[in-house]
Chain A
Amino acid sequence: MLEIKGLAVKLEEEDKQILKGVDLSVGAGSVHAIMGPNGSGKSTLSYVLSGKGGYEVTAGTATLDGDDLLEMKPEARAAAGLFLAFQYPVEIPGVGNMTFLRTAMNAQRKARGEPEMSAGEFLKLIRAKAKDLKIDAEMLKRPVNVGFSGGEKKRNEILQMAMLEPKMCILDETDSGLDVDAMKLVSDGVNALRDAGRGFLVITHYQRLLDHIKPDVVHIMADGRIVKTGGPELAIEVEQNGYADILAEVA
């Protein structure tokens, strides 16, 4: 589903290479985790895939079901089924959460040539999904992420994911800033979306999140490359011994 080959990326503003040839293939129905120390390029990978400005792709390709992601605008990538759950969800004062989600949903549907969802249908759907994530009506009415706690912001990301039903979900350090209960709530939300037709790329520092969202494949990223790939046991190794052993081994 998501195919990344030899992806090399530098910062647009300065001559700093962040990704140095990333190869990654995430198939439908599978959950891949990327772990790695700070500054290894994990978040950059998620931003480049979703189309954030400020980066320049110097080599390589990234496709979603064969379509060239790197040629598409961010909104087209979203309509094609890519979703990034932000590490730091953005606050948008003045835009109601519901308005935001309904606009996004209908924009994607329109882009795909599907009929827009009526206000009634939308309301019914969002109420059901919000309930599962313990998001109350008040939170839905408030401006996007404004005044939300860290946990509320992350739950709101998962709500968007549940509503938009993307094919390929990238979670960028969704566990950061979450307490144990919130982590469980968020993980349950993600697990509920696991499906034979959907791929996940879970970026995290810690194995803890992977106790809840069990990955099929674990990659270790360091200095802009994926340096080791294995099963869930790789995450446990990181948890016990840190990255130093693995990095020394592949160096």
Chain B
Amino acid sequence: MASAAAKPDLTEARLATLNMPDGASEAREAALGRVRAMGLPTRRDEYWRYTDPASLTQANAPRAAVFAPPGEVPVFKYIDRLKVVFVDGVFSPEKSDDLTMAGLEIGRLSDALSKDIHWAREFYGTLETAGQDPVARPLAALNTAFATDGIVIRATGKAEKPVALIYLHSEERSDAILHHLVRVEPGAEVTVLEVGPAAARFNEVMEIDVARGGAFHHVRAQGRDHERRAVTHIFARVGEDALYKSFTTTANGVMTRNEHVIEIVGDNATAHVAGAALGDGANAPFHHDDTVFVTHDAVGCESRQVFKKVLRNGAEGVFQGKILVKSGAQKTDGYQISQALLLDGDSSFQAKPELEIYADDVICSHGSTTGAIDEEALFYLRSRGVATEQATDLLVLAFLAEAIEEISDEALRDDIRARLEEWLARRRND
């Protein structure tokens, strides 16, 4: 029973370092109640079996050096976007663009919760709360209780360009908690980009409500700082005829846990979530965990989970993915694939795919593979003059392609592919 006794200590030690900001105090107090009731996670929790949450729950952020390789092209640099910049989790008005765009209402969370923006105050924490069942996600509740800032977006039409959340990291022990709210009104459309490490340790929650006929696109490139740590939760509710698409690429990071909780509540909706991770344990350990929970609670909906990880030098990958089809959710088309390419014998991948189906007229499939580089393909490339390292990188990009293809916008897709190519080339030439 050591762990049961340790949990309150662990939780209170973390809570002692935090101050509850103003605004939405009811929601925040309720979230604090959830944190205390659940306790922060430990390795003994089933949901954290493959990922040790200790560095995410400890009282203060572990140190993380800032990684700023000279000459590296920032992700999304060539994309026309509205820039919203946070430095160590603090909004920077100087570095950010003017927060106005046709088709969008956009503002800071800290303003929205204290002002009279009804939808934001009423929405704050609701999907996080709903997402605590059937699996506890205490770090998300902690976020709702203590998030210092974030961005609040309401799409009322088709946004003219993407909103880019740019997370800079400057302090070696910065500890950031950001909470974003996105509401896509019927028929509206918005793309949200995220890039950067945000802090030495980053706890992020994004709650997204996509109403009937709306479309939400999300493309994220997590920071390249080797020692950074992040726990992110995206809670999405997808309405009738709505489209939800999210893609994340991760290169480097000593600890990353990305949770995705999607509830499809309207008929004929589509929800895709994808990830491409490049892990190299040579400079610092690399641990990357994708944990996804998709619930089908409507008729004729489609969901896809496509997760690819390339691991070398002792890098660790984890995938926990679930598709839950409720009893009324007929004509569901659910697909899930998680694959790891292990470039050496030191690296590891653990996958826990789950299907739970209570409807009888559905198509659901899942697959998980772990493999090495294709020696035949490698020799074919080498026989044409491409050296082993470069040939391997070509095959790595080919392996990630299915996940990258999930990005709908061609310019964004090309940008992500170009950055990945560049990161691989830098690694090869350094």
Residues of A within 8 A of B (CB): 50-53, 73-75, 77-79, 83-84, 86, 89-95, 99-101, 103-105, 107-108, 111, 143-144, 160, 164
Contact, CB under 8 Å: A94 / B386: no
- Complex interface: chain A residues within 8 A of B284 (CB): none
Q: Which of A51, A78, A103 contacts B394 (CB 8 A)?
A: A103
- Complex interface: chain A residues within 8 A of B385 (CB): 75, 78-79, 104-105, 107-108, 111, 164
Q: What is the distance, in angstroms, from A206's C-beta to the closest C-beta of chain B?
A: 25
- Measured CB to CB, the nearest residue on chain A to B379 is A52
- What are 11 A-B interface contacts by the 8 Å CB criterion? A52-B379, A53-B379, A74-B382, A75-B383, A75-B391, A78-B383, A79-B385, A92-B398, A95-B398, A100-B381, A111-B387
Q: Which of B380, B383, B388, B390 is the most central at the interface, judged by chain A CB atoms within 10 Å of its CB?
A: B383
Q: Which of B381, B390, B398 contacts A93 (CB 8 A)?
A: B398
SS of B interface (majority) = helix
B6 within 8 Å of A by Cβ?
no
Contact, CB under 8 Å: A78 / B390: no
Q: Which of B381, B388, B401, B402 is the most central at the interface, judged by chain A CB atoms within 10 Å of its CB?
A: B381
Contact, CB under 8 Å: A90 / B399: no
Contact, CB under 8 Å: A78 / B398: no
Contact, CB under 8 Å: A78 / B384: yes
Q: Which of A74, A79, A107, A111 is the most central at the interface, judged by chain B CB atoms within 10 Å of its CB?
A: A74
- Complex interface: chain B residues within 8 A of A93 (CB): 398, 401
- Complex interface: chain B residues within 8 A of A92 (CB): 374, 377, 380-381, 395, 398
Q: What is the distance, in angstroms, from B207's C-beta to the closest C-beta of chain A?
A: 34
Extra inter-chain contacts (15) besides given A90-B380, A103-B390, CB under 8 Å: A51-B383, A75-B382, A86-B383, A90-B379, A91-B377, A93-B401, A95-B397, A95-B398, A100-B381, A103-B386, A105-B385, A107-B386, A107-B390, A143-B398, A160-B384
B94 within 8 Å of A by Cβ?
no
- Complex interface: chain B residues within 8 A of A164 (CB): 384-385
Q: What is the distance, in angstroms, from A34's C-beta to the closest C-beta of chain B?
A: 19
Contact, CB under 8 Å: A53 / B398: no
- Complex interface: chain A residues within 8 A of B383 (CB): 50-52, 74-75, 77-78, 83-84, 86
Bound-state Cα–Cα, A164 to B386, Å: 12
Q: A74-B382, A78-B382, A92-B381 are in contact. Are A53 and B375 (CB under 8 A)?
A: yes
- Complex interface: chain B residues within 8 A of A107 (CB): 384-387, 390
Bound-state Cα–Cα, A95 to B396, Å: 10
Q: What is the distance, in angstroms, from A144's C-beta to the closest C-beta of chain B?
A: 8
B376 within 8 Å of A by Cβ?
yes
Q: A73-B387, A107-B390 are in contact. Are A51 and B395 (CB under 8 A)?
A: no
Contact, CB under 8 Å: A104 / B375: no
Contact, CB under 8 Å: B395 / A95: yes
Count of B interface residues, CB-CB < 8 Å: 24
- Complex interface: chain A residues within 8 A of B398 (CB): 92-95, 143
Bound-state Cα–Cα, A91 to B400, Å: 16
Q: What is the distance, in angstroms, from B337's C-beta to the closest C-beta of chain A?
A: 14
Q: A93-B398, A94-B398 are in contact. Are A104 and B379 (CB under 8 A)?
A: no
- Measured CB to CB, the nearest residue on chain A to B387 is A75
- Complex interface: chain B residues within 8 A of A144 (CB): 380
- Measured CB to CB, the nearest residue on chain B to A109 is B385
- Complex interface: chain A residues within 8 A of B391 (CB): 75
Bound-state Cα–Cα, A53 to B380, Å: 12
Contact, CB under 8 Å: B384 / A94: no
Contact, CB under 8 Å: A94 / B397: yes
Bound-state Cα–Cα, A74 to B374, Å: 16
- Complex interface: chain A residues within 8 A of B394 (CB): 95, 99-100, 103
Bound-state Cα–Cα, A143 to B379, Å: 17
Q: Which 10 A-B pairs rank lowest in CB-CB distance, beginning with the nearest?
A: A94-B398, A78-B385, A108-B385, A104-B384, A90-B380, A94-B401, A74-B382, A75-B387, A95-B398, A107-B385
What per-residue 1/0 map shows which CB atoms of B195-234 lie under 8 Å from chain A? 0000000000000000000000000000000000000000
- Complex interface: chain A residues within 8 A of B388 (CB): 73, 75
Bound-state Cα–Cα, A91 to B376, Å: 9
- Complex interface: chain B residues within 8 A of A51 (CB): 382-383
- Complex interface: chain A residues within 8 A of B399 (CB): 94
Bound-state Cα–Cα, A112 to B382, Å: 15
Q: What is the distance, in angstroms, from A105's C-beta to the closest C-beta of chain B?
A: 8
- Complex interface: chain A residues within 8 A of B379 (CB): 52-53, 74, 90
Bound-state Cα–Cα, A9 to B375, Å: 21
Q: What is the distance, in angstroms, from A182's C-beta to the closest C-beta of chain B?
A: 21
Bound-state Cα–Cα, A104 to B402, Å: 23
Bound-state Cα–Cα, A17 to B380, Å: 24
- Complex interface: chain A residues within 8 A of B380 (CB): 86, 89-90, 92, 144
Bound-state Cα–Cα, A86 to B381, Å: 12
Bound-state Cα–Cα, A74 to B382, Å: 6
Bound-state Cα–Cα, A111 to B386, Å: 10
- Measured CB to CB, the nearest residue on chain A to B380 is A90
- Measured CB to CB, the nearest residue on chain B to A143 is B398
- Complex interface: chain B residues within 8 A of A86 (CB): 380, 383
Bound-state Cα–Cα, A52 to B386, Å: 14
Bound-state Cα–Cα, A84 to B384, Å: 8
Q: What is the distance, in angstroms, from A112's C-beta to the closest C-beta of chain B?
A: 9
Bound-state Cα–Cα, A110 to B367, Å: 41
Q: What is the distance, in angstroms, from A80's C-beta to the closest C-beta of chain B?
A: 9
Q: What is the distance, in angstroms, from A103's C-beta to the closest C-beta of chain B?
A: 6
- Complex interface: chain B residues within 8 A of A143 (CB): 398
- Complex interface: chain A residues within 8 A of B374 (CB): 92
